[in-house]
Structure 1
Amino acid sequence: MHNLLIHNDNTPFIKSFKSSIQFSASSDIDNYISTDIIPKIKAKTPDIIFIKDNLSSNYLELYGFRLAYHVRFEEKLKFVPIVILSDLDGFTLNRLESSAKILFTQNIFIIENSKKAFDDFDVKKMKSFNEENYKSKFLDLISVEAPENSSSHSIANEWAIYRWSKYLKVESEAIIKNREKIASMLYFKYLLAKNPIEIKKKNGIQFVPRPPENSGKILYIDDEWAKGWSDVFEQYFSKNKNIEFETFEYDFKENNKFTMISSIKNRCLAYNPDVVILDLRLTQSDHESIDVNNLTGIKITEIIKEINPAIQIIMLTATGKSTILENLYQHGILGYIKKEHPADIGMSTKESFDKLKTLVDKGLDKKYLKEVWEIQQSIKPFSPDIKIEVDSVFEILNSDMKNRFIYAMFAIFKVIEIINDKYFEDGYKKATWKDTNEEILDNSTKNKIQLILNKRLHLNNQKVYEGIENIIKIRNNTIHPKHGKIEIIQKDSIIEWFKMLQTILEKIEK
């Protein structure tokens, strides 16, 4: 039987082992174990691994237990029995080192660091340990804490980038660097064991994230863009050739908040995106703030909405606080995507992709609202009543209310009626021009507005006349549907009618 010893020249009976590896403590202990010690262990193909509990000059640095965890998370070594050599008993070790709880898992033993204890060790104590009981006899009995020098935000970013890039099969310098870190850190090894990435479904079909189906322009803003997120999103959106994707490549750490926000505003003005994927926290001060309204992502949202409130914003965030997430909607965002933090139990990468697709498609579907807003801003109503109706068009269309196109059509039609009332006094089956008292026998909405266009505004615009006929026809069919069927209103019709209204009101103003 091949027994292997891992030591720091602190075991007096080294020659009793078939082979040994000397451990030299490093400042980056996880990386050293993963890139140096583990490959050496695998090369020796041991049947039993003996590990000295302390593997450095500091007796209280019980790196032996950390190494034992690394072994258990290594696919080719995870079922190999491990024996801890120590001058202390298990009870004392558990008081000194939380990772000593591994002693209570399957086929992990502790013996005295002596030749006699080694000779007396009975291999028959070993129990069956395999894939079937790996979870119940090991994973469910232990926990590995995140490194103290790693923030919750950085962990969520690294973990989410790793998982998203795996599903999308992204290969880039930043992704490889992230992957190497995940592969070496004990905490991430633990997470991968607890939350394996299942590329294939139970029926054997491979899961492929579906890209959005609509077309448009997407701008991505995140201080973590260069760590792999930009590569992930670029790969994802490249699957739809009708989507134009751009990352705001910016050195967030080297510039102050004012300069950063100003640069983002200028980029939005120049690029004119339909959808912005925006990180909630973009500066170090954001991680120290408890007021969501002061977060940089919120400030940028407000600026983007000032440019054009129809630009749809999808917030990207690592926070898991429900109070913050719900508060985001008060600032007019379309929705949010969470960067998967390991603490979010039940959160699925597949569900994140599905939610992203849904939100982006919804956002791109609303891109026509940018033009609606621009038309609305250019209209100068001659009365408060017209302003109310004109302003309501965008508000209605930007909502999720049912039949919003119908209500928007009614608002535009109402303006036509207000214009008619400006020029005509209605009577029974007839109307009178207010300026000449001349009567007309046909007081229908269509006849009155056409007379106004022709005789008072001298507007000779075929598109306007066609628009008038079209909106009146659809309005009447909506109120009195033929065969109970309401006519479907398209986005293009709304824009056409709104432009028609713009032309008429401009002529009235002149």
Structure 2
Amino acid sequence: MDGAFILDDDNNPFSKKITHEIGVSPIEYVDLRTDKEIDDYVARIFAQNSIKKLIVPVSLGEGGNNELGLRIALHIRLSERIGEDNLIPIILISDSSLETLLINQSNRYALIAATEGSVLAPLDSTEIKAHLNFTTPISKSEFKNKVLDNVIIKGPETIGPHSMANEWGVIQLDKIANLGSLTASTPALQRKPSLYFKYLLSVNRSRTAASVADNVTSTPNLIPAAGKKILYIDDEGDKGWVQALTKIFNRATVVPLTGNNLSEANFMADIRAQINLEWDLILLDLRLLPWKEDIAGTVHPIGYYSGTKILAEIKTINEGAQVMIFTASNKAWNMRDLIDLGADGYYIKESPKYLIPDNLSLQNYESFKKQVEICFEKKYLRKFFTLKEQAISQTGNSDLSFMAYSQNSLNEFFKLLKLGMWETAFISLFLPIEQHTDALVTGTHGEVMDLTGTIIQMKVGTNYKMVHDEINYNFQIQTSNKKVRARRGLGKISFTMAFKFSKDNAYLIRIGQLVEKRNSISHGSATTIKLQDFEDLIAILKLFRTHS
């Protein structure tokens, strides 16, 4: 019978008998134990033979009453290595009924015999031949409804949902971003030949829209990151995530912390040592202690997890540090909670529990890329948190009202800066400067006490110590008999900086620029705020907080 084959088992006399009676071609069965061995065996026999129909004894090899034939049939159906040959008719032969097979086995592999394109036949040559003649291949369009939806493949009981998401998620990421980063030794790929993963992949392929192929690039879909320093904290990063992320962040330095062979205390000590360093981005897994946090059926508040506790420590060290959380949760409220706790973004490690189609996987990855880009752009927040804290740490000024006002303004500035409200952040820094100089400079024409305790007056005799350049909008240190008064705003700030803090004319030009920007914001005129403006205003407040 052309194209009909049987797995020929030396331990099964009946298979040799029907080989001759029916006229099918034998394929030598070899001792198979693991899913990887079965997966390779299936790929090999289909590459070497033009198989159109296949007879598979349910029990194969020594021992008998095993389920190897059922496992082989499932591997054929779920294989992506043999193309559409996975749709061929499969005749399973056994002296047990389907009900008996289901009762006697802890799994439900025997259900494959009840699906379209497969049949369970007794050890009878005539009946087997009839099934060979009348069993037809499955149509590709009906594969999901008539095969995948009717088999039960359970995941391994020894692996928690978090670990499973780590293995499944990195396979999906590697595929969607076209990375090619995983190797044969990668733990996630080592599990890929398992029946459970093959089943998940088959279901995922059946759900994936055809348009996805148009969106997945032919070259790796990477994130430009030349010169960036990235810290990656994940207890299961060695399952392929380190390789994938190192490939994704093109030309960056990715430093992984996976806690391999470390106690909990030493792992946490390593983490705390690294988060004190300066990074362009920190990628932090939500669950770092799976033996405590990855218990099936147990749900904890988001703040319970070790990742959120480390996030809090990072933000205490420097609120401007950019931290993205990796999580297997796809619950919207968890994402909101993470942002409320200070996370700057998140990436959902896709879990086989949800089997997200590839088009949505691609959206998940593109969202991750956009969030990373924003984090890279906001690296300046780390610097300004440090500058803000350094200014607040200065406590030499005895004016308690100013000290409280300026501290509140500095904290408010940083919150506004994080929100991208640059103009309001500018005003928040400027107002205490304006208020303080208004109090420092007294008298009709203006006088201020310098750092030695000497009173410096604007007008001495008929001369004034400063001139007002109305064209360029600044004050300059220059003796002149032209009348000038140190008024609130530009005049008093300039006079204070020149004669209390001994700043030069170049500095006073800069003061004029800052005051002009303040006026433009207040009057609703167009103006461009730069990071240097914030830095200069914080430096003034720091100076004011240092001296009375």
- Normalised to the residue count of structure 1, the TM-score between the two structures is 0.85
The change in CA–CA distance for 1:138 and 1:479 in structure 2 (over 3 A counts) is same
* Alignment partner of 1:453 is 2:497: yes
* Alignment partner of 1:279 is 2:302: no
* Alignment partner of 1:51 is 2:56: yes
What is the distance in 2 between the residues matched to 1:422 and 1:185?
A: 76
What is the distance in 2 between the residues matched to 1:103 and 1:462?
A: 91
* Cα deviation, residue 384, structure 1: 1.0
- Aligned match of 1:339: 349
Q: Amino acid of the residue matched to residue 146 of structure 1?
A: G
Q: Amino acid of the residue matched to residue 202 of structure 2?
A: A
The change in CA–CA distance for 1:143 and 1:154 in structure 2 (over 3 A counts) is same
Maintained 8 Å contact 1:7/1:22 = yes
Of 354, 368, 379, 1:367 maps to 379
Q: Identical aligned pairs, as a percentage?
A: 21
* Cα deviation, residue 356, structure 1: 1.6
What is the distance in 1 between the residues matched to 2:213 and 2:414?
A: 46
* Alignment partner of 1:85 is 2:93: yes
What is the distance in 1 between the residues matched to 2:156 and 2:378?
A: 43
* Alignment partner of 1:355 is 2:367: yes
- Aligned match of 1:69: 74
Deviates more, 1:466-475 or 1:492-501: 492-501
Maintained 8 Å contact 1:53/1:86 = yes
Maintained 8 Å contact 2:350/2:356 = no
Give the alignment of 1:180-191 within 5 angstroms: 180-191=189-200
Give the alignment of 1:311-326 within 5 angstroms: 311-320=321-330, 324-326=334-336
- Aligned match of 2:538: 498
- Aligned match of 1:40: 45
What is the distance in 2 between the residues matched to 1:199 and 1:492?
A: 50
Deviation readout 1:478-499 (Å, 9 max, x if unpaired): 2224xxx421322332223223
Q: What runs of 5+ residues in structure 2 fail to find an aligned partner?
A: 20-24, 398-402, 450-454, 459-483
The change in CA–CA distance for 1:232 and 1:149 in structure 2 (over 3 A counts) is same
The change in CA–CA distance for 1:355 and 1:204 in structure 2 (over 3 A counts) is closer
Deviates more, 1:363-372 or 1:1-10: 1-10
Deviation readout 1:56-92 (Å, 9 max, x if unpaired): 6666543322211111123343122101112233344
* Alignment partner of 1:269 is 2:276: yes
* Cα deviation, residue 503, structure 1: 3.6
- Aligned match of 1:392: 412
- Aligned match of 1:206: 217
The change in CA–CA distance for 1:325 and 1:256 in structure 2 (over 3 A counts) is farther
Deviates more, 1:376-385 or 1:430-439: 430-439
The change in CA–CA distance for 1:38 and 1:460 in structure 2 (over 3 A counts) is closer
The change in CA–CA distance for 1:48 and 1:56 in structure 2 (over 3 A counts) is same
* Cα deviation, residue 434, structure 1: 8.4
The change in CA–CA distance for 1:352 and 1:205 in structure 2 (over 3 A counts) is closer
Q: Amino acid of the residue matched to residue 397 of structure 1?
A: L
* Cα deviation, residue 131, structure 1: 2.9
* Alignment partner of 1:127 is 2:136: yes
Q: Amino acid of the residue matched to residue 161 of structure 1?
A: V
What is the distance in 2 between the residues matched to 1:158 and 1:408?
A: 44
Structure of higher CA gyration radius: 2
Q: Superposition RMSD on alpha carbons, in Å?
A: 3.2
The change in CA–CA distance for 1:214 and 1:180 in structure 2 (over 3 A counts) is closer
Q: Amino acid of the residue matched to residue 522 of structure 2?
A: I
Maintained 8 Å contact 2:179/2:248 = no
* Cα deviation, residue 473, structure 1: 0.6
* Cα deviation, residue 267, structure 1: 2.3
Maintained 8 Å contact 1:7/1:23 = no
* Cα deviation, residue 397, structure 1: 0.9
- Aligned match of 2:12: 10
- Aligned match of 2:244: 232
* Cα deviation, residue 182, structure 1: 4.5
What is the distance in 2 between the residues matched to 1:52 and 1:122?
A: 14
Of 498, 504, 529, 1:489 maps to 529
* Alignment partner of 1:328 is 2:329: no
What is the distance in 1 between the residues matched to 2:173 and 2:212?
A: 16
The change in CA–CA distance for 1:19 and 1:245 in structure 2 (over 3 A counts) is same
Maintained 8 Å contact 1:160/1:340 = yes
The change in CA–CA distance for 1:46 and 1:437 in structure 2 (over 3 A counts) is closer
What is the distance in 2 between the residues matched to 1:462 and 1:144?
A: 79
Of 418, 426, 429, 1:412 maps to 429
Q: What runs of 5+ residues in structure 1 fail to find an aligned partner?
A: none
* Alignment partner of 1:377 is 2:389: yes
SS across alignment from 1:133: helix
SS across alignment from 1:188: helix
Of 153, 166, 169, 1:157 maps to 166
SS across alignment from 1:248: strand
- Normalised to the residue count of structure 2, the TM-score between the two structures is 0.79
